[in-house]
Structure 1
Amino acid sequence: MTKLKLGALSDDKPVKLTVELPAPVHRDLVAYAKLLERQTGQPIANPAKLIGPMVERFIATDRGFAKLRRANTSSPPGKGE
């Protein structure tokens, strides 16, 4: 079976956001939740709970973001902000 990028969800204290998703993205999110449920055995009552881990994974694997972030944090205060 193909392994999904997300694994079991952690139980952290969330920050509430309101977002609007295009209908096709929402359908894909629901389908992803169903597949992840099957793969991990962990029930996912609310597919919206996947958005945080998905964004986190996206940011963690974005090399351009990591490079710019390192460059920005290594510059002296007042530079590159």
Structure 2
Amino acid sequence: MKLQVLQDSNGNNSGVYIPQQEWSLIKQQYPDIEEISSDIPDWQKELLTSRLETIAKHPERVKPIQGLFDALNKKVNR
């Protein structure tokens, strides 16, 4: 796939150009792709904001996800 990253006047990434032929292939594989919204509901935004604030206040509580996976695997294998 030959994508082109578009940048604004400050050099920040602002979009992606996908050639028409490749976009058609994507739409064949994912027919509802144009109906997918990039907006998330306000309640989810509020929840994310709350969790990010908690992480910022208590970074020592953040643990690698691998530890959770290991604990879950131990419970499954009992």
The answer, yes or no, to whether TM exceeds 0.5 is no
Higher fraction of strand:
2
What TM-score does the superposition give when structure 1 sets the normalisation length? Answer: 0.31
